[in-house]
């Protein structure tokens, strides 16, 4: 029997929760995500665009706990390895805008 890794469970949950957003190019929701980066727990909020090569791509991100987003729109995407994700939740943009 094949072993299901935690990142595979994370991917499955993300795909289900953001089925209306991923790979669509537009979204009415955002993601709040906690993850490990360089040994520290980090936090970011952004629009979930895609999942590929075991990475969640969000952007343009609104908030990153250590730095402001880049001013260049094309650089405002963040790749988060699925195996580094601790927790996430969906935020409806209509609730905050």
pLDDT tens sequence for the chain (97 residues) = 455 568 889 999 999 999 888 887 667 788 999 999 999 999 988 889 899 999 999 986 655 555 555 566 556 688 999 999 999 999 987 765 5
Q: Could you tell me the sign of the dihedral formed by the alpha carbons of 19, 82, 33, 30, in that order?
A: negative
Strand segments (E) across 2-84: 29-37, 40-46, 48-52, 55-58, 63-64, 78-81
**Each residue's pLDDT tens digit, 41-63:** 999 888 898 999 999 999 866 55
Helix (H) or strand (E) holding 91: strand 85-92
Instruction: Provide the pLDDT for residue 57.
Output: 92
Domain 6-96 coded CATH 3.30.70.1400: no
List the beta bridge partners of residue 41.
36
Residues 65, 82: Cα–Cα separation, whole Å: 19
Pairing outcome for strands 48-52 and 29-37: unpaired
């Amino acid at each position: 029997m094949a072993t299901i890794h935690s990142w595979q469970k994370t991917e499955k949950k993300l795909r289900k929760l953001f089925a209306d957003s991923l790979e669509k190019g537009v979204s009415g929701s955002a993601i709040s995500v906690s993850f490990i980066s360089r040994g520290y727990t980090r936090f970011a909020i952004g629009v979930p665009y895609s999942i590929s090569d075991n990475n969640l791509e969000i952007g343009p991100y609104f908030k990153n706990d250590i730095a402001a987003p880049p001013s260049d729109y094309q650089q405002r995407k963040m790749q988060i390895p699925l195996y580094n994700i601790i927790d996430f939740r969906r935020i409806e943009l209509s609730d905050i805008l």
